[in-house]
Amino acid sequence: MNQLDQLKQYTTVVADTGNFRQLAQFAPQDATTNPSLILKAVQQPDYAPLLAETVARQAGQPLPDIVDQVLVRFGLEILKVVPGRVSTEVDARLSFDTAATVARARQLMKLYAAAGVGPDRVLIKIAATWEGIRAAEVLEREGIRCNLTLLFAFCQAVACGDAGVRLISPFVGRIYDWHKKQQGAAWDEAASSGAHDPGVQSVRAIYNHYKRHGVPTQVMGASFRNTGQVLALAGCDLLTISPELLAQLQASSAPVAPALSLDAARTLDLPALHYGAAEEAAFRYALNDDAMATEKLAEGIRAFAVDAGKLDRLIQQAPAA
C-alpha cells in the first residue's frame, strides 16, 4: 500500500481544501475549509460560475448572508464527495464576540439544514480564543458540533476539552514556523524533525492529555509543512492534510507505523489541568505566557480576517450568472 492508504489504517484522513474537484482521488473521510482556502478556490476559473450563480441567487441580501451562502454552497459540494463531515468557518472578524459567533454558527447550520444536511455532517470552525471557546460551549449544548481552530497553546486545548468541544485543530506547521524563525541560524532541521518537531510535540502532548484523562474531544493535527510531520502523528484521531501533501503520501510506498497510541497514553502519569468557564483569568495568563501561541493566534486571526475581507469584495464584484 502507499503511505496514504497505510496512514488511513491508524488515523482518519481529512482533506484541507476548498477545491472539491480534487477530493475524490484521495478518498478522505472528511474535509476542512477556511477563509483563505475558499478565497483561493473562488478565484479559479472552474469555480467562478458557482460563485456568480450563488451571488446572483442572493441578490439584494445583506453581504454577510451572501458570504454564508457561498461558504455553505462549497460545503454542500464537498459533502457530495466525502462520506463524513465538512468544517465551515465562522468569520474570523467575530473571534472576540461570543454572541455574534453563536448567531453566525446558528445561521450556517440553518442553511445546511435547508439543504437537507443534518448536524452530524457539519463542524462549525471557530478560532480558539476565550470568546470562541465560550461560543462553542453554547453551540455544543445545542447539538451544533464545533471544530476549534488556530490552536497553538496547551491551555487552549485544555479549555476546549472542558467546554465539551467536539474537535480541535492544533496547527503543527505554524508552530514549526515560529520556532524555526526564532532560532534563526541556530536551527537544526534534522534535529527538529519527526518526533522532535515542536509542532508534532505540541499535538502529542494534547493527545496524551486527552486520552489519559478521558477527554472525548477529538484531536485533528493541521497545518502541515511536510509529510514527515504528518507521519510523525500517525495514530492521531484525525489529520487534515493539503492536497499537495496527500499526493506525496499517495506517491510513496515507504512503511508507516503508528506514532501515537491510546493504550500508551492511558498509562502516562500526567496532571489533570482545567480551564473551565470560571477560570478565564488563569486561561488568559497561561496563553499570554506562551509567546509562540500568543503571536500565532493573533497573526492567524488577522490573516483570516484579511482574506474574509477579500472574499467580501469578490462577492460584491461578482458578475451576474
Q: Which residues are catalytic?
A: 125
Q: SS3 letters for the chain? A: CCHHHHHCCCCEEEEECCCHHHCHHHCCCEEECCHHHHHHHHCCHHHHHHHHHHHHHCCCCCHHHHHHHHHHHHHHHHHCCCCCCEEEECCHHHCCCHHHHHHHHHHHHHHHHHCCCCHHHEEEEEECCHHHHHHHHHHHHCCCCEEEEEECCHHHHHHHHHCCCCEEEEEHHHHHHHHHHHHHHHCCCHHHCHHHCHHHHHHHHHHHHHHHCCCCCEEEEECCCCHHHHHCCCCCCEEEECHHHHHHHHHCCCCCCCCCCHHHHHCCCCCCCCCCCCCHHHHHHHHHCCHHHHHHHHHHHHHHHHHHHHHHHHHHHCCCC
Q: Which set of grid coordinates corresponds to residue 295?
A: 503571536
DSSP class of residue 81 equals T
* Residue count (the chain): 321
Residue with cell 522532535: 196
